[in-house]
Structure 1
Amino acid sequence: MEDYKSIKIERQNPNSGVFHLRLHRPSHYNTLTTELFGELRRALSSLDQNPDVRVIILSGSGKHFCAGIDLKSTASNFENLLSSERGRAGERLRREVKAMQDSITAIEECRKPVIACIHGGCIGGGVDMATACDLRYCTAEAVFSVKEVNLAITADLGTLQRLPGIVGFGKAVELALTGREFSGLEAKELGLVSATFASKMELENGVIKIAEEIASKSPLAVVGTKAVLLKSRDLTVEQGLDYVATWNSGTLLSADLKEAISARAHKRNPAFSKL
C-alpha cells in the first residue's frame, strides 16, 4: 500500500470490510493542501479497487475533521499567479481548481460507500468533502460553515452543487450566502447529517457499527444501490427506472442472490464473496 504523508488508511479488524481513511494533518487541523488533494484521489482509487474494501469511513485526526483549505499554501500560490500573464494565470488557475474538484468528486465516484465521521470543525473544504460522501454523522458540538463567501471566494469544490440536494435549495442558499457557523445539532435538523452523537468516541463506535452493517450486505447490491441513486439524480423517474432495469439485468442473477435466499431459508447470516 502506498505511503501517504497527509492521510492514513487503517483497517482495525483484519476480518472486516470496513477501512478508515483519515485526514492526517492534526497540527494544521487537517487543512487541505495540494499534496493532500492528490493523496486523497490516489487513496480513494486504491480503496475502490481493493476487493477487501466494502465500506470506507472518512474522518480527521486530532481535534477537527477539516478546517478547510490551507490558506498559507493558497496565498503563496495566489501571489505566483498574480505575477503571471493574465490569460495564462487564469488558465492555470482553472486547471488547479478542476484538479481539486476531481479529488472531492473521487469520494462520490468511488464504488464503495463512503461515510463521513465528523467531529470538531468542518469548514469550507470540509463541507465539500462531507457533501460528496454517501452518509454523514457528527458529534453534537461539531461546527460547520460554508465559509468561502467570508474569504471573498465563491465555493468551487462541490458544496454549491451538492448541498441543495441534501438540505434543500433555500437552506443551502442561506448557509452559503451568510457563511455562518452552525452546530452538529442544527446539521441534524437541516438533514445534512443522519444522526449526532454525544462524544467523539460514541460517534466513532456508532459509525463503525453502521459501516459494519452495510459491509455485511451483498457487495454487488451495495455498489449497485449507490450507482443507481447517484445516476437517478440527473434522470426522470422513467429514465431512472429504465437505468436500474438495465443495471439489474446484468447483476441480479448472481451468486449473492442465491446466497441471500439460502441464508434466509436456513436462518443464518449470509457470506458473500468479495467484489
Structure 2
Amino acid sequence: MAENYKTLIIEQKTPNSGVFYLYLNNPKQRNALTRDFFSEFPKALNALDHNPDVSVIILTAVGDHFCSGIELSALNSTATDAPSGESLRRNILAMQDSITALERCRKPVIASIQGACIGGAIDIITACDIRYCSKDAFFSVKEVDLALAADLGSLQRLPSIVGFGNAMELALTARRFNGLEAKELGLVSRAFDSKDELNKAVWNVAQG
C-alpha cells in the first residue's frame, strides 16, 4: 500500500476502518485518463484487493470532476506506438483489461461521481458495483464525437444497466445528461442534492 502513484491516491481516512478511498488524481485535466493511469489502475486495485484491512473501496476523484475521459495524447500515442493493426489491438486490449480490473476486484467498489463523467469514465463506473452521484453531475458517452467506439467496456456493460435501447441512444448521440436522468436510467442508484450529501451518503453505505 506504500507505493506512490502518479495518477491515483489511496487513502484510509479513518483509522481501523475497512473503508479505503481510491482517488483519480489528475485534477488539472479534469482527471483525464493518461497512459500512466492505465498501467497504475490495475496495480492499485490489486493492492487493495489483497490488503486484508480493506473491506470496501470508494472510487472518487480529486477536484470538481470525476473524469473527463481518455486524454487525447494517450490515444494518439497508442496509435503512434502501433505500426500494425495487431499492435493497436493489443494496446486497446491492455486498456480494456485495466478497466476490467474493477470486476476482478473481490472487494465492493462504490463509484462516487461529481462533475464530469465522460467517455472512458462511463467505462469505469459501469464496472463498479454501486454508483452514486450528485444531481449536478453530467454524463456523456462521448466517443462517437471523436469517431471512436466506446470499446473499453461501455458497449458491453451499459446495456445490462440501462437497457439496450437507452445504451444505443446514448452511445450514438453522445448527448449530455445530468445526475437526475442518470438515476432515471438506472445508471446510478441515487442522485444527491450536493457533493457534501453525496460524500456523507457514500461513507454511510460503505461503513454499512
TM-score scaled by length of structure 2 = 0.97
**What is the correspondence of 1:237-248 to structure 2 with a 5 Å cutoff?**
none
* Match for residue 176 of structure 1 among 161, 171, 177: 171
Please give the alpha-carbon distance, in whole angstroms, between the structure 2 residues aligned to 1:152 and 1:125. 14
Q: Which SS does the other structure have where 1:43 is aligned?
A: helix
Q: TM-score, normalised by structure 1?
A: 0.74
CA distance in 1, matches of 2:91, 2:199: 33
> What's the Cα RMSD here?
1.0
> Which AA in structure 2 matches 1:45?
N
Unaligned runs of 5+ in 1: 214-275
Which has the larger Rg?
A: 1
Which residue of structure 1 aligns with residue 120 of structure 2?
Answer: 125
Whichever structure has more helix as a proportion of its residues is 1
**Which whole-Å CA distance do the structure 2 matches of 1:74 and 1:156 have between them?**
13
* Aligned-pair CA distance for 1:150: 0.9
C-alpha contact (below 8 Å) 2:78/2:88 kept by paired residues = no
SS of the equivalent of 1:21 reads strand
User: In structure 2, what residue type is equivalent to 1:190?
Assistant: L
Report the equivalent of 1:135.
Answer: 130
Q: Look up the SS of the partner of 2:44 in the other structure.
A: helix
Residue in 2 that maps onto 1:21: 22
Q: What's the CA shift string for 1:72-110, capped at 9, x where partnerless?
A: 2322442454xx3xxxx2111111111111110001110
Report the CA distance shift for 1:41/1:80 in structure 2 as closer, same or farther (over 3 A): closer
The alignment partner of 1:98 has SS state of: helix
Task: Read off the aligned partner of 2:59 and give its amino acid letter.
Answer: L
Matched, 1:192 2:176: no
| Residue of structure 1 in register with 2:93 after alignment | 98
In percent, how many aligned pairs have the same letter? Answer: 59
Match of 1:110 in 2: 105
Structure 2 unaligned segments of length 5 or more: list them: none
Q: Which has the higher strand share?
A: 2
Is 2:34 the counterpart of 1:33?
yes
Q: Which residue of 2 aligns with 1:71?
A: 72
In the TM superposition, what whole-angstrom CA distance separates every residue of 1:15-59 from its partner, at most 9, and x where no partner exists? 110000000000011111111111110000000000000000001
